[in-house]
């Protein structure tokens, strides 16, 4: 399904995807000089890691959170199938091991007639980690004690993603949510920083629109629409 485009070094695979604008393309770079993260943060992208963006068209607004969910499920499954490592998915789209971030996903829509979306996936595999994220990030080679096979992980990811994309096209939303939940952080004590407030509580469920439900210390249910989650 995806036409693959490889780059040794580019600013950002997400930016490249937007520039190319041709659907069903996967852009892969060995290194990014201006990797983008959520909340306008950068994404440290030295050689050795996986930096990949998918460009899709015909994306309905209501499918966007599900696209992010299937990207997280697929990245998790690709790591599990290729390395046998179990990671957990932290809402909305990070892969976590030992409370540290192994993979981040950034989804963006490009408005216009074709209703395009770019899904950018960054996985710390064999790269050095940002020294400023000490104790917050982790890489596969550190966990496994050996080099990870980036090519194998990317190929497996694309295969699994295609399967889940078909599931999404068939509108099997509950299957996506239930697969996401199977290996998720639900049950963990968390802190969520939203635009206007910080919440403390236990992550306990995901609703049918992919929103996070937490219980605060007074047992009150709170629905989280956006935010930065930390497992505590």
Count residues contacting ligand BTN (CB under 6 A)? 20
Contact 106/32 with Cβ under 8 angstroms? no
Contact 224/90 with Cβ under 8 angstroms? no
Beta-sheet pairing, 3-10 with 212-215: unpaired
Among 12, 107, 124, 139, binds ligand BTN (CB under 6 A): 12
Contact 100/88 with Cβ under 8 angstroms? no
- Residue 104 touching ligand BTN (CB under 6 A): yes
Taking each helix axis from N to C end, the angle separating 173-182 and 150-169, rounded to the nearest 10 degrees, works out to 140
Q: Is the dihedral of CA 188, 172, 18, 54 positive or negative?
A: positive
Question: Which tokens belong to 24?
Answer: 């069903």
String of contacts with ligand BTN for each residue 31-70, x by CB under 6 A: -x--xxxx--x-x-------xxx-----------------
CB of 50 to ligand BTN, least distance (A): 8
Of 122 and 201, CB closest to ligand BTN: 122
CB of 169 to ligand BTN, least distance (A): 23
Q: Which residue is nearest to ligand BTN (CB)?
A: 104
Question: Which tokens belong to 180?
Answer: 């996401």
CB of 218 to ligand BTN, least distance (A): 31
Phi, psi of 145 (to 5 degrees): 75, 15
- Residue 120 touching ligand BTN (CB under 6 A): yes
Bin 167: left if φ > 0, else alpha if -120 < ψ < 50, else beta.
Answer: alpha
- Rounded Cα gap, residues 91 and 2, in angstroms: 26
3-state secondary structure of 33: coil
User: Could you tell me which stretch among 2-10, 78-86, 114-122, 173-181 binds ligand BTN (CB under 6 A)?
Assistant: 114-122
- Residue 156 touching ligand BTN (CB under 6 A): no
Contact 89/37 with Cβ under 8 angstroms? no
- Per CB under 6 A, contacts with ligand BTN among 65-94 are 94
Of 38 and 115, CB closest to ligand BTN: 38
CB of 220 to ligand BTN, least distance (A): 28
CB of 123 to ligand BTN, least distance (A): 8
Of 43 and 97, CB closest to ligand BTN: 43
Contact 185/162 with Cβ under 8 angstroms? no
Binding interface with ligand BTN (CB under 6 A): 12-14, 32, 35-38, 41, 43, 51-53, 94, 104-106, 120-122
């Amino acid at each position: 399904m995806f036409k693959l485009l490889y780059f040794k070094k580019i600013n950002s695979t997400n930016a490249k995807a937007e520039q190319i604008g041709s659907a069903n393309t996967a852009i892969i770079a060995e290194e990014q000089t201006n990797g983008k993260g959520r909340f306008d943060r950068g994404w440290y992208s030295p050689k050795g890691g996986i930096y990949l963006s998918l460009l899709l068209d015909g994306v309905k607004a209501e499918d966007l959170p599900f696209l992010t969910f299937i990207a997280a499920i697929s990245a998790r499954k690709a790591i599990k199938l290729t390395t046998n490592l179990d990671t957990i998915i932290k809402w909305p789209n990070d892969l976590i091991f030992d409370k540290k971030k192994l993979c981040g996903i950034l989804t963006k829509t490009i408005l216009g007639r074709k209703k395009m979306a770019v899904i950018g996936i960054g996985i710390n595999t064999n790269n050095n980690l940002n020294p400023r994220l000490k104790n917050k990030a982790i890489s596969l080679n550190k966990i496994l004690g050996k080099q990870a096979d980036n090519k194998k992980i990317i190929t497996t990811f694309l295969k699994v993603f295609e399967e889940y994309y078909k599931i999404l096209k068939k509108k099997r939303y509950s299957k996506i949510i239930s697969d996401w939940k199977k290996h998720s952080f639900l049950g963990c004590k968390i802190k969520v920083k939203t635009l206007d407030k910080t919440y403390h509580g236990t992550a306990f469920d995901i609703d049918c629109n992919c929103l996070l439900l937490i219980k605060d210390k007074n047992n009150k249910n709170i629905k989280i629409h956006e935010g930065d989650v930390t497992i505590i």
